[in-house]
């Protein structure tokens, strides 16, 4: 079986969990004797092999490369240019020639699409013209919102605004070409199905993101009897991630918080550090070594205000035996067994977050008991297990 696997970005252009999840899946398929061929966007056309997986890097026709619209990767684009970029991206038939050449040369059996920003959903129509079965994995809210987060004015949008409806109309219409839709959480799948997406999909599935094979508990620090628990935040320092809510609560708590991550907007990060810089709150910046991060944390807090599609940091923490306190947004609650692997609180109730932290502080023995269960839960997200679920989906679609 040869699978043509599309994602907006691929190693080494990694800006989020989707890129890592796609790479882990591709390499997992390769290890099981299935041939994945990855196609992603880039600044220049080239072909390479990454850990034995063939990767096509395509310069897709638009005003700028996807990463050049992000502050971390280059000059921030102006507002009007972004609007035009998204307008083109909603139905960019100019990609046809490049992708058709790859299809003709590789002769795949099936196509698996993931994040499509930069390719546009016209890709689905092209793949179907080539009589390729299509499996699509929903990894964010791109099909519903140009910003991919449906977050505005400090809160999650309950429904699409007029602008999002206009941008997403082609995405919704062309989703009829998808043969099976996969959500990385029940929330993200049902959110799209309720919106009328994937009307002709013969089946739908929920398959979570995988964990890297080297995640584990080696070297995890455990507090000695009587030592203070150390709480941690890991991720982008941005409003929708709930970082300000968390810092406000810890500025009133007698508890230690370490903050790993940085902001896309340096001025915002400096403001946070100036406003909330206290002896019990330590900003540690970006750290690429997750083992280094989780050796430094006893309880992870994920205070998101937007509807997270999944929450990779939750399962990463589990793999190191770390319980998680998280908000009730999006797919996050699906990952937590209340009182067993962590706690879920109402994102609209900051006092509930504070009380949950205080409970963990007063019950360190419960935190310790949770540790082993968290490690057991992490096994559900092993690459082999997740790859096996996808192989079942691919086989099912091919057999129809």
pLDDT tens, per residue, the chain with 400 residues: 999 999 999 999 988 889 999 999 999 999 999 999 999 999 999 999 999 999 999 998 888 888 765 544 434 677 788 888 888 888 888 899 999 999 999 999 999 999 999 999 999 999 999 999 999 999 999 999 988 888 888 888 888 888 888 888 999 999 999 999 999 999 999 999 999 999 999 999 999 999 986 444 433 545 544 578 999 999 999 999 999 999 999 999 999 999 999 987 888 999 999 999 889 999 999 888 899 999 999 999 999 999 999 999 999 999 999 999 999 999 999 999 999 999 999 999 999 999 999 999 999 999 999 999 999 999 999 999 999 999 999 999 999 8
Question: Distance between CA 185 and CA 240 in Å, rounded?
Answer: 19
User: How deeply is 104 buried, as exposed, middle or buried, from its count of CB atoms within 10 A (0-12, 13-18, 19+)?
Assistant: exposed
Check if the beta carbon of residue 391 is closer than 8 Å to that of residue 135: no
Beta partners for 135? 112, 180
Q: Are residues 338 and 393 in the same domain?
A: no
Contacts of residue 240, defined as CB under 8 A and 6 or more positions apart, other chains included, come to: 149, 151, 304, 305, 306
Q: Is residue 14 in a domain?
A: yes
Question: Distance between CA 229 and CA 218 in Å, rounded?
Answer: 19
Host H or E run for residue 353: helix 350-362
Question: Distance between CA 287 and CA 65 in Å, rounded?
Answer: 26
β-pairing, 151-152 vs 155-156, is: antiparallel
**DSSP summary character for residue 399:** T
Count of the separate structural domains present in the chain = 2
Q: Are residues 373 and 387 in the same domain?
A: no
Cα distance from N-terminal residue to C-terminal residue, the chain? 15
Q: Are residues 394 and 305 in the same domain?
A: no
pLDDT of the residue at 219: 39
Beta partners for 382? 211
Axis crossing angle, helix 364-378 with helix 350-362, rounded to the nearest 10? 100
Residue 231 — φ and ψ, nearest 5°? -95, 155
Beta partners for 231? 257, 299
pLDDT of the residue at 222: 54
Q: Are residues 282 and 369 in the same domain?
A: yes
C-alpha dihedral sign at 97, 102, 103, 104: positive
Contacts of residue 303, defined as CB under 8 A and 6 or more positions apart, other chains included, come to: 233, 241, 242, 243, 245, 246, 326, 327, 347, 353
pLDDT of the residue at 228: 85
Q: Are residues 345 and 320 in the same domain?
A: yes
Q: Is residue 133 in a domain?
A: yes
Q: Is residue 336 in a domain?
A: yes
Q: Are residues 48 and 196 in the same domain?
A: yes
Q: Is residue 219 in a domain?
A: no
Q: Are residues 281 and 344 in the same domain?
A: yes
Q: pTM of the predicted model, to two decimals?
A: 0.92
Q: Are residues 31 and 113 in the same domain?
A: yes
Q: Is residue 218 in a domain?
A: no
Question: Distance between CA 313 and CA 300 in Å, rounded?
Answer: 9
Q: Is residue 309 in a domain?
A: yes
Question: Distance between CA 38 and CA 23 in Å, rounded?
Answer: 9
Q: Are residues 309 and 292 in the same domain?
A: yes
Check if the beta carbon of residue 303 is closer than 8 Å to that of residue 327: yes
β-pairing, 46-50 vs 53-58, is: antiparallel
Q: Are residues 158 and 268 in the same domain?
A: no
C-alpha dihedral sign at 72, 74, 78, 79: negative
Nearest 10 degrees: Cα torsion 158, 338, 323, 21:
-50
Nearest in space to 147 (alpha carbons), one of 51, 82, 74: 82
CATH number at residue 303: 3.40.50.2000
Q: Is residue 175 in a domain?
A: yes
Q: Is the peptide bond before 125 cis (omega within 30 degrees of 0)?
A: no
Q: Which domain holds residue 32?
A: 2-210+382-398
Question: Distance between CA 182 and CA 121 in Å, rounded?
Answer: 16
Q: Are residues 325 and 356 in the same domain?
A: yes
pLDDT of the residue at 83: 85
Q: What does the block give as tokens for 287?
A: 């750290």
Q: Are residues 290 and 143 in the same domain?
A: no
Q: Is residue 224 in a domain?
A: no
């Amino acid at each position: 079986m040869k699978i043509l696997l599309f994602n907006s970005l691929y190693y080494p252009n990694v800006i989020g969990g989707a890129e890592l999840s796609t790479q882990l899946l591709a390499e997992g398929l390769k290890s099981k004797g299935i041939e994945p061929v990855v196609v992603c966007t880039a600044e220049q056309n080239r072909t390479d092999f990454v850990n034995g997986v063939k990767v096509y890097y395509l310069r897709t026709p638009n005003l700028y490369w996807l990463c050049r619209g992000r502050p971390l990767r280059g000059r921030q684009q102006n507002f009007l240019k972004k609007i035009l970029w998204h307008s083109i991206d909603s139905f960019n038939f100019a990609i046809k020639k490049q992708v058709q050449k790859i299809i003709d040369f590789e002769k795949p059996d099936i196509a698996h699409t993931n994040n499509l920003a930069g390719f546009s959903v016209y890709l689905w129509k092209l793949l179907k013209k080539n009589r390729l079965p299509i499996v699509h994995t929903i990894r964010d809210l791109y099909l519903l919102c140009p910003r991919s987060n449906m977050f505005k004015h400090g809160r999650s949008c309950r429904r699409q605004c007029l602008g999002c409806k206009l941008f997403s109309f082609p995405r919704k219409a062309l989703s009829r070409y998808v043969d099976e839709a996969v959500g990385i959480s029940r929330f993200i799948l049902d959110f799209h199905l309720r919106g009328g997406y994937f009307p002709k999909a013969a089946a739908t599935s929920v398959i979570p993101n995988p964990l890297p094979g080297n995640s584990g508990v080696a070297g995890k620090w455990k507090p000695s009897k009587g030592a203070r628990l150390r709480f941690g935040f890991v991720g982008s320092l941005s409003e929708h991630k709930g970082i300000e809510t968390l810092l406000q609560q810890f500025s009133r708590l007698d508890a230690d918080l370490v903050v790993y991550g940085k902001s896309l907007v340096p001025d915002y990060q400096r403001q946070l550090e100036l406003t909330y810089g206290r002896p019990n709150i330590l900003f540690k910046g970006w750290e690429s070594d997750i083992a280094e991060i989780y050796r430094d944390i006893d309880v992870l807090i994920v205070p998101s205000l937007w509807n997270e599609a999944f929450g990779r940091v939750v399962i990463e923490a589990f793999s190191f035996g770390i319980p998680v306190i998280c908000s009730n947004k999006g797919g996050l609650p699906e990952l937590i067994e209340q009182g067993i692997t962590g706690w879920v609180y109402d994102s609209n109730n900051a006092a509930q977050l504070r009380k949950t932290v205080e409970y963990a502080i007063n019950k360190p023995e419960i935190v310790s008991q949770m540790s082993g269960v968290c490690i057991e839960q992490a096994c559900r997200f092993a690459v082999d297990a997740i790859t096996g679920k996808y192989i079942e989906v691919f086989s099912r679609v091919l057999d129809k």
